[in-house]
Amino acid sequence: MAYPAESIINVDTLISSAGLGTANFGAGMVFADFDSSSDTAFVEGTYRDYGTAAAVAADFNIASDPYKAAEAWFSALPKPKSLRIYLRKEKDTPVDSMNDALNKRIWFYWFEFETAIRANDSDVLALTAAGDAAGKFFAFTTNQAEVRDPSITTDIVSKAATQGSRRMFVASHATKLYAGFETAAVFSRVNFNAVNSTITGEFKKLPGIDAEDLTQTAYAAMKQKGAVFYTVVETGGEKDMGRIINSKTTSTYGEFIDDVFNLDAFVNYLTVALYNALTKVPTKLRQTAAGQQVLIDAAAQIGERFIGNGYLGERLYVSDKTGEETLSRGYEILTTAEDIQNLTDAERSARKAAPIVMRLFRAGAIHAVDVTAQVD
């Protein structure tokens, strides 16, 4: 037998793990009442996934809220890939149902409930607070006529705006139960890895939702309160039959739907990128400037990705370093690799990196145009 080369050359194989993947921000879920399914085998406290409204009709009557929600969801263009329906337990409160789904690690981002739950303002506000705390977005629709009355301040939109939860918007429609859920479905198809993929909710069309033709008083009331509405747009006798207007959330910060949605995605992508940078090293990430630079580079890659998809964009700002007005591409990382050398003994013993400070500049979206026509 020949002398084995392995006795001379000893090779150790270091394999990187797969790491974490990013969250699915297109996942929508309807919380159905315990007795709403026509399939007795559908067990309370469990869920099913559906790819079409027709598939939902096999488990729920077409007159039911879950089917109507699914019909709205799958009417959006481009068409969403799936919808999840959770069957609530009989004795659970709405918040209990949400917490049960969360504790079972049933993933969703957008959510809705049935009409009986949504008719109770206190339940709606409790769900909004619970959902916001859990990072879930309540795509709510109200049929309250009071929303369109400027003299009334006790309607659900006014109450929700006072509460100020970021992850909620209220679509106002006289008859359609799930106009807001179809609006969420439009966002559900955003692919954050694709170029120019981020959107605004403003001016989007909702197939299957009747465009309303209302009074100026009603429009003014909804805009002032912060309700989303779907309306006819007209000029010179010509009509555009259906556009979303006033696509704001109930956030205290005055955010639009896409502001909250995009930032949630950015935070998730950044978290995953930094986690993978830490854990996919076969040996270790050194607590040195070189190790810090790996983390900075991972954060920068996400900044570049979100410039590409349209969330971040150019902005003039005053630089903290120079005090001069500077043009940013869409983000700035204020941390340097050498900052790790300034760690305290306690921070070094705890094996921390220097904190990464990023400044983000949203590309935003144009929703209105002012024009001055100078005639000579």
Q: What is the pLDDT of residues 205-232, one digit of tens each?
A: 999 999 999 999 999 999 999 999 999 9
SS3 74: helix
SS3 81: coil
* Amino acid 282: pLDDT: 86
By the 8 A CB rule, do 84 and 51 touch?
Answer: no
Residue 321: is its pLDDT beyond 80? no
pLDDT, mean of residues 305-309: 98
* Amino acid 251: pLDDT: 98
Alpha-carbon torsion (146, 149, 153, 156), positive or negative:
positive
Question: How far is the C-alpha of 57 from the C-alpha of 61, rounded, in Å?
Answer: 6
* Residue at token pair 């939902």: 56
> Which range, 14-18, 183-187, 279-283, has the best average confidence (pLDDT)?
183-187
**Domain spans of the chain, in order of start:** 28-261, 281-360
* Amino acid 15: pLDDT: 67
* Structure confidence by residue, pLDDT tens digits, 90-107: 999 999 999 999 999 999
Residue 195: is its pLDDT beyond 80? yes
* Amino acid 318: pLDDT: 85
* Structure confidence by residue, pLDDT tens digits, 11-30: 776 666 778 899 999 999 99
Residue 204: is its pLDDT beyond 90? yes
Element (H, E) at 84: strand 83-87
Question: How far is the C-alpha of 209 from the C-alpha of 178, rounded, in Å?
Answer: 9
233 DSSP assignment: E
Question: How far is the C-alpha of 156 from the C-alpha of 125, rounded, in Å?
Answer: 8
Question: Which of 223, 309, 194, 317 lies closest to 258 in space, CA to CA?
Answer: 309
Alpha-carbon torsion (27, 127, 257, 144), positive or negative:
positive
* Amino acid 344: pLDDT: 97
Question: How far is the C-alpha of 179 from the C-alpha of 144, rounded, in Å?
Answer: 13
> CA geometry: angle at 212 spanning 180 and 253, to 5°?
45
Which range among 85-94, 275-284, 297-306 shows the weakest confidence by mean pLDDT? 275-284
- 189: its two tokens: 């198809």
pLDDT, mean of residues 160-180: 98
* Structure confidence by residue, pLDDT tens digits, 56-72: 999 999 999 999 999 99
* Amino acid 376: pLDDT: 92
The percentage of residues in the chain with a pLDDT greater than 70, rounded to a whole number, is: 98
* Amino acid 14: pLDDT: 67
Question: How far is the C-alpha of 90 from the C-alpha of 210, rounded, in Å?
Answer: 34
